[in-house]
Amino acid sequence: MRSSIDFSPARASRFLSISRLLARTTPTGTQSVAGLAARRIAFSTAALATLAGLGYAFASVLSVDGWSIPEFVMLGCFLVSAPWIVIGFWNALIGFVLLRFSRDPVSIVAPCVLRAHDVDLIEARTAIAMCIRHEDSDRVVRRLDAVLKSLDATGYGDRFDIHVLSDSARPDLVAEEEAAIAEWRRSLIDPDRVTYRRRTANVGFKAGNIRDFVLTRGRDYDFMVTLDADSVMSGEAILRLVRVMQANPKLGILQSLVVGLPARTVFARAFQFGMRASMRSYSMGAAWWAGDCGPYWGHNAAIRVKAFRDHCELPTVPGGPPLGGAVLSHDLYEAVLMRKGGYEVRVLPEEGGSWEDNPASLPEFLRRNLRWCQGNMQYLRLIGSPGLPFMGRVNLAIAILMYAGAPAWITFMVAGAAQAWEPPALVGGGDGVFPWGLSTSLLAVMMLVLFAPKIMGYLDVVLRPAESRRYGGAGVFLAGVAAEIGFGLLFAPIVSFSVTAFLIRLFVLRRPMGWDAQNRDGRRVRWSEAIRSLWPATLFGAALAASLALSAPQVLPWAAPVLIAYLLAAPFAVVTSIDAPDADAPSLRLVAVPEEVEAPAEVVAVAQGPAGGAAYAPPMAPFRFDDGADDRGYSAAASPAE
């Protein structure tokens, strides 16, 4: 009797092909390609289904009395702005589930970490590279000295060198840099561990600075850890990155999770409290499906030098101004090129030992945000470049969407105000019965989707008693949540308006903004400065409020949070630039971050005096490194960090 099973060569070949496909792994060999593809399909299906459901519900609400031109515009704007917040919702939800119900969530999203162990010897040589341009020299030295001492405390300090890569051009600041670095080097037993190099031309901006380093001194190192001028990392955090890189030869970039240093101003403290809450769940969820095609944020990350040199040379953005020329938001595109070169790019979504300063005031935040916006808009000309991996194009598209939602939201509000003046339906088809239940449910769902990253982050802290104690206790934490919600309701509309105005300036007036050094120090924002920069937002809010008051006063209570944010934009900028009342009062830390409750040594070492923007007096006895000179290569008594 013939067997009913077909053992034909064609069937066997198909079976082998499927088996090989299922056996394929990412470049490090630590994750199944098929499994990662299944995650991405599940995520995209959930996101698209959510977007379709929200779009259908909103269209149903709009079409009650037929369609008008403003309603068509509102629906289009809704569909443009919704993808970014839907992606954020699913990232946060997935991340929250992993954090709450997995023993080791990091190993699930970045399985390459399982190859590394805390006892692994550090054999690679690593450069700690900080790019600076017109920065405070004392700030730079203080941070790098803290990093160096923290590395030496691990016993592996001899495997690391410090490189200060300057692009400064102002003679006075160049002289300060040279003097500060020279004084610091004199305090070290082995001054050759610190190298200062200054380029005479700022070609390619920060990316060009790094490129110059990897083409010259980079050949002496296996890895480099990139830092910004406001960055600081602990020795243990750096060793964690290096050990994972050592254990995975096909891992090109490993990005740490960067959190804000303790700050003094109302703005910086509230901003980083909310960012800290949402970042962990959001980053965990994003890493779950991004996998080996993760992002690079430009600093506080470990990079395989040879792979970076061979594969990450940036192109010139084609076309004329305002988007053509050097790549400004270089980091994400470098991550795409690294993955194109056959190396993984991973995020390590765990808190610990990786910090940066956040902008101390609203004007400084807006300047930084608009620089990023301009850089991300260049991806419009790069996303179609030949040979890029599909997931790389997805990451570039998401980066564009991050800013595309702002003008869509502003246009949505303008169209809504115009709709209030419209005569009844220009296009027929509605049944005339307004769906109050659907409308109210849609609003509630949209609020949930919009605020999901923060909600999930706050829940994760509250549900972990040990975690809430790091914030000063559950009561203090929840009070901080309430304060941050009020801050966010005023902050978000102002940011959206500024992005919209800038995009009009960029694409209509074709006027890009400069790419100068950031003012990292706190200062009081003057009323004249606030009014001069924020009057357009205030005028827009006043016009919108007047229009609604005349045409649809019943809508004003619903629009009040946004309208108030615009009308109070200038006072908000001024008031939030002052030092918070609890900045020097440990018992009143309303929006405290864990480093304020128990400050690590590195945080204490970089804390500034009362005049500094990131100044902070930790609620603990000052940390002291070993006095005098020791075998780790420096004299602590002469260190600028003390």
- What local confidence, expressed as pLDDT, does residue 420 receive? 81
The CATH code of the domain that includes 177 is 3.90.550.10
pLDDT tens-digit map of 506-527: 999 888 876 565 666 667 999 9
- Least Cα distance to 242 among 228, 263, 256, 232 occurs for 256
pLDDT tens-digit map of 602-627: 999 998 533 334 444 443 333 222 33
Q: Is residue 226 part of a domain?
A: yes
| DSSP one-letter code for 578 | S
Q: Is residue 267 part of a domain?
A: no
The residue written with tokens 């030949």 in the block is 386
Neighbour-count burial of 309, counting CB atoms closer than 10 A to its CB (0-12 exposed, 13-18 middle, 19+ buried): middle
Q: Is residue 611 part of a domain?
A: no
Domain extent for 327: 107-262+290-356
Neighbour-count burial of 300, counting CB atoms closer than 10 A to its CB (0-12 exposed, 13-18 middle, 19+ buried): buried
The number of folded domains in the chain is 1
In this structure, what token pair is assigned to residue 548? 């609604």
Q: Is residue 550 part of a domain?
A: no
| DSSP one-letter code for 390 | H
Give the percent of the chain with pLDDT over 70: 87
- What local confidence, expressed as pLDDT, does residue 280 receive? 87
Q: Is residue 444 part of a domain?
A: no
**Cβ neighbours for 360, distance < 8 A, ≥ 6 positions apart:** 263, 264, 265, 267, 268, 520, 521, 522, 523, 577, 613, 614
Helix axis angle, 390-420 relative to 330-340, nearest 10°? 140
Q: Which residues does the chain have with pLDDT short of 50?
A: 1-3, 426-427, 609-642
- What local confidence, expressed as pLDDT, does residue 597 receive? 84
Q: Is residue 204 part of a domain?
A: yes
Q: Is residue 127 part of a domain?
A: yes
The residue written with tokens 């969530």 in the block is 105
- What local confidence, expressed as pLDDT, does residue 58 receive? 92
